[in-house]
Structure 1
Amino acid sequence: MAAYAALVSLMNTMDHVQNDPRLSRYLDQKQVESLGEKVGFLLDFIETCHSHGGSREEVLESRIAFAAHAAEDVIESHAVDVLFVGSVFPERTSSIILSYALNAIEDIKRKGRKTISPWRLKLGLRKVIEKMDSIKKKVIEIKQIKGNAVNLTHSPSPTSSTAFMGAEKSKMVGFEDDLLQLMERLTGRQPNRQIIPIVGMGGIGKTTLARNVYENPLIVQHFDICCWVTVSQEYSVRKVLLELLSCQIKPTSEMDGKDEAQLGEQLYKSLFGMRYLIVLDDMWSIDAWDKINRFLPNNNNRSQVVVTTRLLEVANHFGSSRHMMSFLDEDKSWELFCQKAFGKEGNCPLELEGIGKEIVKECKGLPLSIVVIGGLLGKSINTREYWEKFAKEKKSILNTRGGEESLDILSLSYNHLPAHLKPCFLYMGVFPEDHVISVSKLIKLWVAEGFIKPNSTQSLEESAEGYLKDLVDRNLVLVRRLGSTGKMKTCTIHDLLRELCLKVAQKEKFLCVTSVLDIPLGIDKGQRIRIFHAFVSTLLDGSNLVSKGGKLSLKVLNVVDSDSSLRDIFEQINLRYVCKSYSFRALPPSISWLWNLQTLIIRGKEYFTAPREIWMMLQLRHLEFDKIYLLEPPPSGDLQTTLPNLQTFFKILNLELSEELCMTIPNVKKLKLKYRDFSAEKYHLYNLDLLHKLESLSCFFQEAPKWGDLVQNLKFPSSLKKLSLRNSNLRWEDLTVIGSLPHLEVLKLMGLNSIVGNEWNPVEGEFIRLKFLGIYYCYDLMHWNADRSHFPVLENLVLEGLSKLDEIPFDIGEIPTLGLIELDGCSESAAISAVRILEEQESLGNEGLQVRVKLLDNAKVERFGEKVKEEFGSFTSGNFQLRAINRFS
């Protein structure tokens, strides 16, 4: 919803200007208070009485959006005046940077803004306040007509909870027979490779069926290699090949440099002789298959390829072996709806059953529609009155808009969203089809775009996590992958729902997705543009195309795989989010002109240096570099040098953690540090415990420090939840300092010199909340003496490169929460001990534990398989995976 997004964005901008001493001194406080009151009033109207199709309100909301954008434009123009007009440059400013800056200033002056004029700001605000006052009167009139009735479709604002819903595998309600049939075909005895197409319309469950089969333990055990890749309409063969390889090995820079033919040859070699299962999801053309197929060998060992497609023509290309997906009958449709609306038990209140079945019947057996509407009604008011009103709206849509039935049904899920979720949902359309979306990036973008309304109990990011959880609960966003702490790492959106986002966003003039050559004319203020180019992916605030000569209004700049010039930054002083490649070795002092910048992500292979002025960028929330030196903050004085909003601070080289610096970043939550030559006296790591909100810390020592030098400085804040140490040169007994951290959930120990010593004896009462333990290439470790009491809530144990470890402690298997033991390149005896733990647990009825063993080559895998048979006899388990580590030159 454009009006809500515009008002919240304006509210955030007003707050930022008032908190910036360079900008606030020109503001008239009475005007600010008047504008703030009207913004609050209109926000309340949008949140409680927003329309669902009424043309009168649609016109009014359009006026609100236009007025809010006009107000923000006035304020941002004021920022340009203050920061650019009459600017003074430091002597050390390079000639090329100075040239860019001066050109930008001259451009502003050519437009007539030669001086800073408080009267221009005052006059501009007076005009927008008058507009909003006029709109406010209209709103009051409408409220009186309606008797202040609150629309039944309004849902309560999100609660303070920010816990994500787990990535639970979708139960195949209604398709149990399809699941069994496909399982039987994939595990059949026919030696030749089969291609099995699953065909059906969008939203009918093709991908869900394939995913349930792909993740089934029996299937995982049956095949040597399992790979999944989404092809989509706009496919790239090279990208598909890279993803297929990435299912087997970690991507490398060497792979990035290979062309399509070289990647195809590498894939062919990796699959040759192996029994593989490959799922090619969302295939749209035979041409795509022909280009990929030549790199998939037929090993005559029962390898299988599953293709999901909406097109019968594509399915028929593979012969008569297609698996047709059909619609659900009424009973199965009702079962699926109840599960989504009322949880696993699926118990529908008796008074809602009749109207509920009427609603489900209109979905005509399409699983996606049933799932989305079930999720919507499950989050709504569970009264018969509300459900009857919903049913009438649904029938009205179906009776008046035949043709695009699936999209029309799903449009109800948008109409019935609360106002604060609508812009967040529509924004999902900016991502390409089938794109795996980083949750961290998505939240940063939502915040930068101004969608998140501030509250007194949560940060903007925490509120955004709550918004995302709500969209997941409503089945509008799908969880793709969870991180080590159980939080959502990546997500995605169904193609049909993305089409809905684009359709509604275009109608509401909120979002436009186009190519770089096809930018339409007449883009309205506030309409965001997603521009696609061969090497450039840029998120734009479209107001820059119609105001100020196409400059200074860009809010989000996301340029990947392109080393563009500095001009694109300096000409856009109101940027809030920047992610780009950068070849210069030093960021210029003028970076501080970006007064409203919240997120700065710079990619590049070189070591960068950032200027002291970066400490004066008050709105910074996330600073992420591949590697950068930061000069210490300037001496405290007239300039404020505290970064109160900074939460993410990556990847800082040789940072001196003085008390003064820690006071500068009091609210940092995520910190990544790298030291080339560690010195306790110089870098003051003991001051880490001054960062009372720090949750995630990564320390990488390029050269292992002397033992004792670091131990004496191991002081961590009690808030720490995640810790990664590389080459720290600690001893196992030193881990008591870490184990005593009361909230630690993730511990990763990495590198040849991370932990020194051949025996680890944990102390009972430590690691009480540890969920993830990863030990990587600590070659010295031979004996590990522990039981369930030492890691009482451990969920994941990952061991890599422990070639001397004799065994995993047997009692580790008795930890009730343990779900995974993974060994990669470890000793054979350690791998045998993991199988022994699994056998014991399954004999006791524990089916929740999985064991994965990767050995260096196929010969070792064969020998180990024989040893397992020799020691455990006929023991087989779908929860045990044995594979070779595929390494390619």
Structure 2
Amino acid sequence: MGDGAITFLLENLTRLLSQEADLLHGVEEEVRSLQTELKLIEPCLRDYGQKRNEPAIKTEFINQLRDAAREAEDIIDPYVASVAQQRGGNFLVRTKSKLQRLSSRRRVAEQIKDIKKRFEVLFKQKDKYEIQSPFEVCSGNDHGGDERMSNEDLGYELRRYLTSAMYMIVLDDVWKTDCWDELNQVFATNTCGSRIIITTQDESVARHVNEKPLKLNFLSEEKSWELFSKKVFPAKEEKFLEVRAFGSSYTLPPNSRRLGLHSSMLTYISSNPASSTLRSMLCFGPDERPLSLEAWKLLYKHFPSLRVFDAWIVGVEVIPNDIHKLLHLRYLTLKSPTAQTLPASISNLWNLQTLVVAAPHIDRPQLNIWKMKELRHLRFHGQLLLPEPPNENDSNNVSINLQTLYCISPDSCTERVFSMLPNLLKLGIHGNLEEHRLSKKFKNLSILNCLQTLKLERDRSRRKLDSLEYVVFPQNLSKLTLVETQLLADPMDILGQLPNLQVLILKNAAYNGRNLNCRSNGFPKLEVLKLINLAIRSWNISQGSMARLRSVVINRCGLLEGLPSALQNMPDFRELELSYHVQLVHEAKEIEKSRGKEHFKLVICQS
């Protein structure tokens, strides 16, 4: 792949020119010329970034290209945002905005021409100083096909990559010193401020890694952040992301692109000057009150080029109808205890790739995802309705990028909708499951050939689910979660036949029966099973069933009388988590004793 800054700018300009060219009125010719120049530059930078031991002159050359690309963004993005924000005004507003744009068009056009000239000069200098691009080097280096690397070769390449890179690696729950010794040969020691964080429950492992390990009790949020910051952001080192609680007098450093607010977000938005270069705003701490409509207006005005806006913890009072003014957004997370509507204009955020919304008072909103061509991940906490695609024969309506879709109403589980989601990997369905099961609408799930993860959750006000009959699960499904379905028939017979199921979660009265029976040779690939808040009394595993079972979680199953005896003899079974239950804990400790603590992990949680 090419350099990230150049590739990102090129993709952005291509989308603008093909989908929203009217936003470039007056500067379209200059933008198109810059796009042409970038198309010539981008292949020459292919594979750069995978080779870190480069001469200083080549690194400087690449850095200057990146700086020019970012400057181009800082010129074009605010202009496009200002044009978008002036759409739809009254006659006087439109007339005034046209007059204002006459002068800005000429200025922006000249600035884009200057940037293009900079790229041209840089490439002339490249030839002058004989800077060979990675593309030119790689094209004559044939390794004989794309055979897989050995572990030794992979370790060598990773170490070479890390030698001059700033990195942070987290190894969670390390159990053996051998594991650390093998990996430590790969991790490069450098002076770039890199950090490796290791967690383990075994003190001997901790002391093997570090003579003075930190012994931690459960930490508060404040203490966790303090420790994380101390290890990742030591004093006098450059910070990738500035995170602090701002006073009213604090001003953003010039050309800042990323900002993390730990508190006082509203104060900051209302009291600081505009920044057309700011791309990311992450809010980590709760505020005195949620984001109001007035605060949204300040956000549009002060930060028109935002691409990432995370207001999940702060919350919002409303989701405004003119949210489309932040048209550069790629990532948006919102939580609101009071919002009543999900505005249709949110589907006009044509750059949006990730959207997460939690608003309990928004009842079954409709969202036109077919207009959101870049959308990859959509999570709505409730029941989302999708309109039927405009034309099933038009390939332009296919959402080829969408991978995650949570949670839609069963009403939207139509053949036409699913046929337009060819690359969907994760799907959540929430609502009246029984009605749509009987109407055989869930047979349409078989259309989703790429689907790997499925969650079915019943609306509590609707009928219980009698069984899983007429539900046709995709053959590639690897993870299934059932929540509050209150199944009357034991689901294990049907679920045991899924050939690729690896994770199964039955949660909060997913099954109302008392006996859970896993038949012979069922669940051929199941590795993880979670039984949470069920009223089962017995659980039986027949010979040959769940042969690959590795991990089991049993939580709030107070009526369960014992563990299946088959667990003792499963060769891959090595993790068991229980909420405290006298009989189950006794049996679990017997398994731990027979396997040995070094080979079996037992976690007992107090209810």
- C-alpha change, 1:537 and 1:840, in structure 2 (3 Å) is farther
- C-alpha change, 1:154 and 1:229, in structure 2 (3 Å) is closer
Does the residue aligned with 1:712 lie in a helix, a strand or coil?
A: coil
Are the counterparts in 1 of residues 506 and 531 from structure 2 also a CA contact under 8 Å? yes
Q: Which residue of 1 aligns with 2:259?
A: 529
Are the counterparts in 1 of residues 360 and 381 from structure 2 also a CA contact under 8 Å? yes
- Residues 3-402 of structure 1 aligned to structure 2 (within 5 Å): 4-17=3-16, 20=19, 32-42=35-45, 48=51, 54=56, 60-73=61-74, 76=77, 79-80=80-81, 83=84, 86-87=87-88, 109=97, 112-113=100-101, 126-144=113-131, 167-169=172-174, 212-213=202-203, 228-230=217-219, 239=221
The letter of the residue matching 1:554 is L
Aligned-residue offset at 1:777: 3.3
Q: Which runs of 5+ in 2 are unaligned?
A: 139-155, 163-168, 179-192, 207-214, 280-299
Cα deviation per residue 1:808-854 (whole Å; 9 max; x = unaligned)? Answer: 2222111111112333255x544443344344445xxx852244455
Q: Which residue of 1 aligns with 2:288?
A: none
Q: Distance in 2 between matches of 1:83 and 1:840?
A: 68
Q: Does 1:576 align with 2:367?
A: no
The letter of the residue matching 2:404 is T
Greater shift, 37-46 or 668-677, is seen at: 37-46
- C-alpha change, 1:848 and 1:536, in structure 2 (3 Å) is farther
Aligned-residue offset at 1:79: 4.9
Aligned-residue offset at 1:629: 2.9
Cα deviation per residue 1:265-301 (whole Å; 9 max; x = unaligned)? Answer: xxxxxxxxxxxxxxxx78xxxxxxxxxxxxxxxxxxx
Q: Which residue of 2 aligns with 1:666?
A: 422
Q: Which runs of 5+ in 1 are unaligned?
A: 88-100, 159-163, 174-202, 217-225, 232-238, 241-280, 283-431, 436-493, 855-883
Q: Distance in 2 between matches of 1:206 and 1:78?
A: 42
Q: Which residue of 1 aligns with 2:346?
A: 591
Q: Does 1:833 align with 2:587?
A: yes
Aligned-residue offset at 1:549: 7.1
Does the residue aligned with 1:229 lie in a helix, a strand or coil?
A: coil
Are the counterparts in 1 of residues 529 and 553 from structure 2 also a CA contact under 8 Å? yes
- C-alpha change, 1:19 and 1:145, in structure 2 (3 Å) is closer
Q: Which residue of 1 aligns with 2:600?
A: 849
Q: Distance in 2 between matches of 1:771 and 1:623?
A: 27
Aligned-residue offset at 1:206: 13
The letter of the residue matching 1:13 is N
Cα deviation per residue 1:732-782 (whole Å; 9 max; x = unaligned)? Answer: 654233222222111011233x22434333223321211111122332443
Equivalent pairs, count:
527
**TM-score (normalised: structure 1):** 0.50
- C-alpha change, 1:795 and 1:215, in structure 2 (3 Å) is farther
Q: Which residue of 2 aligns with 1:497?
A: 232
- C-alpha change, 1:813 and 1:102, in structure 2 (3 Å) is farther
Q: Which residue of 2 aligns with 1:635?
A: 390
Query: Whose radius of gyration is greater, 1 or 2?
Result: 1
Are the counterparts in 1 of residues 319 and 341 from structure 2 also a CA contact under 8 Å? no
Q: Distance in 2 between matches of 1:543 and 1:625?
A: 30
The letter of the residue matching 2:459 is Q
Cα deviation per residue 1:568-606 (whole Å; 9 max; x = unaligned)? Answer: 944422111112233322121221332211111223332
Q: Distance in 1 between matches of 2:172 and 2:481?
A: 24
Structure number with the bigger relative contact order (C-alpha 8 A, sep ≥ 6) is 1
- C-alpha change, 1:139 and 1:230, in structure 2 (3 Å) is farther
Are the counterparts in 2 of residues 798 and 822 from structure 1 also a CA contact under 8 Å? yes
The letter of the residue matching 1:586 is T
Are the counterparts in 2 of residues 7 and 65 from structure 1 also a CA contact under 8 Å? yes
- C-alpha change, 1:106 and 1:41, in structure 2 (3 Å) is farther
Q: Which residue of 2 aligns with 1:767?
A: 523
Does the residue aligned with 1:792 lie in a helix, a strand or coil?
A: coil
Q: Which residue of 2 aligns with 1:562?
A: 315
Q: Distance in 1 between matches of 2:92 and 2:588?
A: 64
Q: Distance in 1 between matches of 2:176 and 2:516?
A: 42
- Residues 358-757 of structure 1 aligned to structure 2 (within 5 Å): 433-434=226-227, 495-499=230-234, 503-505=237-239, 512-513=242-243, 515-517=245-247, 519-520=250-251, 523-524=254-255, 527-534=257-264, 543-544=276-277, 550-559=302-311, 560-563=313-316, 566=319, 569-582=323-336, 583-633=338-388, 635-636=390-391, 640-676=396-432, 678-680=434-436, 684-703=441-460, 705=463, 710-730=467-487, 733-752=490-509, 754-757=510-513
Aligned-residue offset at 1:132: 1.1
Q: Distance in 1 between matches of 2:258 and 2:527?
A: 41
Q: Which residue of 1 aligns with 2:293?
A: none
- C-alpha change, 1:116 and 1:623, in structure 2 (3 Å) is farther
- C-alpha change, 1:496 and 1:707, in structure 2 (3 Å) is closer
Using the aligned pairs only, state the percent identity.
20
The letter of the residue matching 1:66 is D
Are the counterparts in 1 of residues 171 and 197 from structure 2 also a CA contact under 8 Å? no
